[in-house]
Every structure is written in C-alpha cells, then in structure tokens.
Structure 1
Amino acid sequence: MKFQYFIPTKILFGCGQLEKLHKQKLPGKKALLVISGGTSVKKYGYLARVQEQLDKAGISYVIFDKILPNPIETHVTQGAELAREEGCDFVVGLGGGSIIDSAKAIAVMATNEGNIWDYIFGGTGGSKMPRIAPLPIVAITTTAGTGTEADPWAVITHQDRNEKIGFGYDQTFPVLSIVDPELMLTVPEKLTAYQGFDALFHSTEGYLNKYTNPLNDMYALKAIELIGKYLPIAVKDGQNIEAREQVALANTLSGMSESIGGCISEHALEHPLSGHNPKLEHGAGLIMICEAYYAYWAESSLVNQRMIDMAKALGKQDATKAEDFVAALHDLIVACGVVDLKMSDYGILKEDLKMYTEVAFETMGSLFKADPGEMTFEDCLKIYERSYQ
C-alpha cells in the first residue's frame, strides 16, 4: 500500500461562512477578483457580499469578468495580464468550477512567461513545469460540481484547437476555500443536476481508479452516498438548504478524492464533446455517456465488488452484481429529470464519433492509464455509439 496525501487548503464549510472571509489571514493586499461573463453573481448579490468582505479586510481588488462556462486560453492570458498590470498579489475565484479553474490558471500565468498551453500536459501542450510559484488562490464556490475548491486541477479549453485538458500541480491548490451552501440556492434545476453528476463521477471514477487507496475510497463512497440521497431533492427543491448543504459536502469530498485518487477515462471521453461543442455543459456530457461507460466496466467483470459497493452507496442496498450500479445510476438520472439528454441536440454528429475517440486519446490519454483494465480505441468508440441519441 503506497499513496501520497496532500490537501493543503484551508476550507471554511457551512452556511454563513462567507461572512468570515474578512477575518481570515488573506495572502496579499490586492486581489484579482475573477467572475463569470454572466450576470448571476451580480444579480444575486454574491459579488457585492465578497466586495464588502474584502473592504472590511482592507484588501483592494480589480474585477476580471470574462470567464465562460467552458473557460478558454484567451481569457486566462487576459486575466494574467490584468493581474500583472494592476499589481495583484493574489487571485480570488468567485463562482463555479470554470471560474475557480480559471483563477488557478490565471494565477500561474501572472507569474510565469509564455502561454498556459506551454504548461499543459497532453495534446499540443508544451508539457513544461512553471518555473515561478503562482499567485496564491482563494476559492469561493457558488456551485456543487467540480470539487475544484479542494483539488489542484484546472480544466481549460484552447479555443483555436478545441482541446479541453486538465492541468494542475501542488502549488495550484487554493490556500483558502469557502463553501457556503447559501450561495448555491439560486442554481437552476438543470444545472444543479449537471453539476451534481460531475461530482458523482469524480468519485465513482476515483473509486475505480487502479491507483486508489483507503483514504480516497472513504471520500469517494461518502460522496456517492450523499449525492444519491440528496441530489434529487436539491434538483426538485433548490431552496432546501439541507439538500444543498449535503450536495455541497459531497462535492468537496469529491474534490478531495480528485486530489488523492483521480479520474479515469470517463472524463477523457467527455472532454472532446464539450471541447468541440462549448454550449454542452460538462456534467450533461458525462450524463450522456455514463450508462454505456459503466456498463462496459460491469461487462468486463474486473471491478465487480467495487461496482456493488457504489450501487449500495447510491441506495441500492440489495445490490449483488456490477450491473446493479448501472441500474442505480439510471434511477438517479430519472429522479433528477435528465434522462432525455441527447448528443444530437448539441450539434454532435454520429459520423464524428471516431474523431472524438481520437481526440480523447490524444488530449487526455493519461487518464486511460489509471483505468482498472485496458480500454481500447474500439471500446471507446462503442461507448460513444451506444450513448448516441
């Protein structure tokens, strides 16, 4: 048994925790405050509340408000340039996974030369390690989906190449994260579901990862259990604070699982879909392929007991075979009202599935190495084909 445990982030979890931001020892005197190009954090007052907290702490700030739902390399470059021009000494990401991921990438590029793609491993990335430590990162999450507040990873898309690739190392962990479920009450029904399934699959993939360890297993199974029980409630009643809180906890646990376990090929298969089709929400893409994906592992008989464990965690207490997890997963998809998702509705063409398979191996090939068994090109193509509607 060999594993590394390193999660250096201070996490403030719970309702009302945002109000404690000004009492924290913040890592600088001037922040780049990264938010989305949309209106939600302004509309619901979250930006104003963070600004108030920074003012109370005596922190000056400049706002960068261009980030897209699938964040792109161009905006990372622009954010880093603004941070340098304004003399920012740390970065605050306020929003969902795309915002915090962007904050991490911006923090790296604010102190290092070149382009973020010089440091990306996979695809056309340069595979370099940053020479200078990034600016410190503070994460304030308003969604429960990626777990990025508790892991080092940032997923960025190169807008000219349609490559969507994860990046991260020890120094891109946030130094401070605030997980306040009150900031999640306004997330719409469908996005609540998409984000919740993303957190679920971080945990299920981590549990099947051949390099998993007992600590990862503990985090992953608890996250699966909480999502199975509370995600349908949060989807149907977004104002249910208990459900929001429990799904937020599952999300943070899934980030911890990501930190010490890691994803496998399911995420490798989704990234080309949303990388080439930016209007496709990452969680929706995962839902589209998940049943065929986990049916593949059930049919392989390589991880029978682990899939039984996951089925029981999802609520199917009488599970006795790997296929029971696929059945429990389908039930959860139905309960969350996302059973009708179709690739074709997002412009994905069946004749392009071979191309998406090629991209999965080219850009995220490292994830296949953590699979519990070999998954071939033909296996991946069949998963896409079985998922296509």
Structure 2
Amino acid sequence: MHMTYFLPTKLVFGQDTLSTLHEQSLPGKKALIVISSGTSTRKYGYLGRVEEQLKQAGVAYEVFDKILPNPVKRHVAEGAALAKEKGCDFVIGLGGGSVIDSAKAIAIMATNEGDYWDYVSGGSGKGKPMSKKPLPVVAITTTAGTGTEADPWLVITKEETNEKIGMGTEDTFPTLSIVDPTLMVSVPPQLTAFQGFDALFHSTEGYLNKTANTFSDLYSLEAIRLIGKSLRTAVADGKNLAAREDVALANTLAGLVEWTSGCISEHSLEHAMSAFHPELPHGAGLIMISKAYYTHIAENHIADERMAAMAKALGKEDATEAMDFVRALEDLQRDCGVADLKMSDYGMTEEEIPLMVKNARENMGGLFEVDPMTLSDKDCLEIYQQSFR
C-alpha cells in the first residue's frame, strides 16, 4: 500500500463563514475578484460582501466579470491581462466551479508567458511546464458541484477546436477556501440538482477508479451518503440550511476525492458533450449518460462489491448487487426532477455521437486509463446511443 496525502488549502467551512474572510491570512494586498457574467453574484449581495471584507482587511481589488458557465480560454487571457495591468498579486474566485476554475487559470497566466493552451496536456495542448508559480488563489464557492475549492483541478474550453480539457498541479490548489452554505440558498432547484449530481459522480467515479485508496474511499462514501440523505431536500426547499450544509460538505469531500483518487471516463464522455454544446450544464450532461454508464459497469460485473456499497451509501440499505446502485440513482434523479433530461433539448443529434466518442478519447483520454474496465469506442458509442432522446 502506497499513498500520499497533500492538501495545502486552508478550508473554512460553515454557515456565515464569509464574514470571517477579513480575519484570514490573505495572500496579497490587491485581489482580482473573478465572478460570472451573470447577475446573481451582485444581485444577492455576494460581491458586495466580499468587497466589504477586503476593505476591512485593507486589501484593494479589481473585478473581472466575464466567466461563462462553461469557461473559455479567451476569458482566461483577458482576466490575466487585467490582473497584470492592475498589479493584482492574488486572485479570488467568487462563484461556482466555472468561476473558481477560471480564477486558477487566470492565476497561471498572470505569471506565465504565452497562451494558456501551452500548458495544457491533451488534445492540441503543448503540455509545457509552468516557468513561474501561479498567483495565489482564494476560492469562495457559491454552489455545491465541482469541489474545486478542495483540489487543484480546473477545466477550460478552447472554443475554436471544441476541446474541453482539465489540468492542474500542486501549485493550483487554492491557498484558502471559504465554503459557506448560506451563499447557496439562492441556487434554483434544477441547478441545485445538476450540481449535486456532479458532486455525486465525482465521488462514485473516484470510488471506482483504479487509484482509489483508503483516503479517497472514506471521502467518497461519506459524500455519497450526504447526497443521498439531503439532495432531495435541498432541491425541494433551497432555504433549508441543514440540507444545504450536507450537500456543501459532500461537494467539498468530493473535491478531496478528486485529488486523492479522481474521475474516470464518465467525465470524459460528458466533457465531449459540453465541448460541442457549451450551453449544456456539466451536471445535466452527466445525469443524461449516467444510467447507461453505470448499467454497463453493473451488467459486466466489473465492480460488484463497490457498486453495492455505493448503493447502500446512497440510501438503499438492502442493496446486494451492482444494479441496486443504478436503481438508487434512478430514484434520486426522479425525486430531484431530472430523470427525463433530453440531449436533443440542448441541440445534440445522433449524427454527432461518433464525433463525441472521438473527442472524449482524444482530449480526456487519460481518464479511460484509470477506469476499472476497458471501455472501447464501441462501448462509448452504445452508452451515448442508449442515453440519447
């Protein structure tokens, strides 16, 4: 047994913890606050609260507000240019996974020359090492989906080639992360479900990953349990802070799974979907393919004991076989109102499925290498076809 545990991030978790930001040891004197291009961060007062906390801490700031739900490379370049121009010495990601991922990418390009894709491995990326450390990143998450506040990973899309690729190093961990469930009560029900299932699949994929270990298993099963316990309530009653807290904790634990173990090919398949269709929420895409994906694993008896353990964690206490996880998953999706999502509603066609198979393998092929099974292109094609409607 060989394992390494490394987490350089200070995690501050709990209700109203945003109000402690000014008390924390912040990594610089001028921040670039990265937020989404939407209105919610300002509308609900989250940006104003962060600005007030920085003023109390004696920290100056600039705001960059262009980040899309599926973040793109050109905004990374624009954000990095602004950070350089204004002399920002650290970056704050205030928002969901797309915003915090973008903050990490902007931090890289604020100190390194060239194009962001120079440092990406996979696809047309050049895979160069960074010559300088990124600026420090502070993550303040307003959603519970990606777990990026607890891991070094970031996912950015190169629009002109439809490449959606993840990357990260030990230097892209946030130095500080604030996880305050009170910032999540404004997330609408459907998005709460999409994000919750993203966190769930980070955990299930990490549990099935070839690299799973004692640390990741502990985090995986607890994250799955918390989602099974409270996601339904968080979707039905977004102001229920106990449920929001459970799902937020599950999400952060799932981020720890991402680092101690990692995703498998389910995420590669979804990245290909949203690379071609950036309006598709990542969690929605995962939900669409999940039944066929996990049924493939169950019917081929690839990880029967682990699938049954996940089913029990998700709430099916009498689970005895792998398909019990698929049944528990279907129940949760139905109860959360997301069981009938359609690829065609987001513009996907059956004709482009072979292109998505190719895209998944070429751009995120590394995740196939840590699958508990060997997933062929034919298998991928069938998973997409079985999921399409």
Normalising by the residue count of structure 1, what TM-score does the alignment of the two structures yield? Answer: 1.00
| Distance of 1:326 and 1:238 partners within structure 2 | 26
Q: Mapping of 1:1-389 within 5 angstroms? A: 1-389=1-389
| Distance of 1:24 and 1:150 partners within structure 2 | 17
Deviation at 1:4, TM superposition (A): 1.8
Deviation at 1:142, TM superposition (A): 0.1
Deviations 1:265-288 (A, max 9, x none): 000000011111011000000000
Deviation at 1:119, TM superposition (A): 0.8
| Distance of 1:260 and 1:66 partners within structure 2 | 31
Deviations 1:295-323 (A, max 9, x none): 01001212000000000000001111101
- What amino acid sits opposite 1:239 in the alignment? K
| Distance of 1:275 and 1:302 partners within structure 2 | 29
- What amino acid sits opposite 2:69 in the alignment? P
| Distance of 2:3 and 2:329 partners within structure 1 | 29
| Distance of 1:382 and 1:29 partners within structure 2 | 53
Deviation at 1:45, TM superposition (A): 0.4
Deviation at 1:2, TM superposition (A): 1.4
| Distance of 1:132 and 1:275 partners within structure 2 | 29
- What amino acid sits opposite 2:42 in the alignment? K
| Distance of 2:302 and 2:385 partners within structure 1 | 22
- Identical positions, percent: 63
> SS at the partner of 2:161?
coil
Deviations 1:331-352 (A, max 9, x none): 0000100011000000000011
> SS at the partner of 2:160?
coil
| Distance of 2:265 and 2:128 partners within structure 1 | 23
- What amino acid sits opposite 2:44 in the alignment? Y
**Structure 1 stretch displaced more, 95-104 or 120-129:** 120-129
- What amino acid sits opposite 2:222 in the alignment? K
- What amino acid sits opposite 2:261 in the alignment? G
Deviation at 1:121, TM superposition (A): 1.0
> SS at the partner of 2:348?
coil
| Distance of 2:246 and 2:354 partners within structure 1 | 39
- What amino acid sits opposite 1:369 in the alignment? E
> SS at the partner of 1:19?
helix
> SS at the partner of 1:178?
strand
> SS at the partner of 2:364?
helix
Q: Where does structure 1 lack aligned partners over 5 or more consecutive residues? A: none
- What amino acid sits opposite 1:158 in the alignment? K
| Distance of 2:232 and 2:195 partners within structure 1 | 12
| Distance of 2:327 and 2:23 partners within structure 1 | 47
Deviation at 1:198, TM superposition (A): 0.2
Deviation at 1:129, TM superposition (A): 1.3
Deviations 1:40-63 (A, max 9, x none): 010000000000000000000000
Deviation at 1:209, TM superposition (A): 0.1
| Distance of 2:188 and 2:378 partners within structure 1 | 37
Deviations 1:242-270 (A, max 9, x none): 00000000000000000110000000000
- What amino acid sits opposite 2:223 in the alignment? A
Alignment RMSD:
0.5
| Distance of 2:285 and 2:137 partners within structure 1 | 28
The count of corresponding residues between Structure 1 and Structure 2 is: 389
Normalising by the residue count of structure 2, what TM-score does the alignment of the two structures yield? Answer: 1.00
Deviation at 1:7, TM superposition (A): 1.3
Q: Where does structure 2 lack aligned partners over 5 or more consecutive residues? A: none
| Distance of 1:211 and 1:242 partners within structure 2 | 33
| Distance of 1:70 and 1:82 partners within structure 2 | 21
| Distance of 1:261 and 1:246 partners within structure 2 | 22
- What amino acid sits opposite 2:190 in the alignment? K
Deviation at 1:373, TM superposition (A): 1.5
Deviation at 1:11, TM superposition (A): 0.6
| Distance of 1:131 and 1:298 partners within structure 2 | 45
- What amino acid sits opposite 2:272 in the alignment? P
Deviation at 1:131, TM superposition (A): 1.1
> SS at the partner of 2:370?
coil
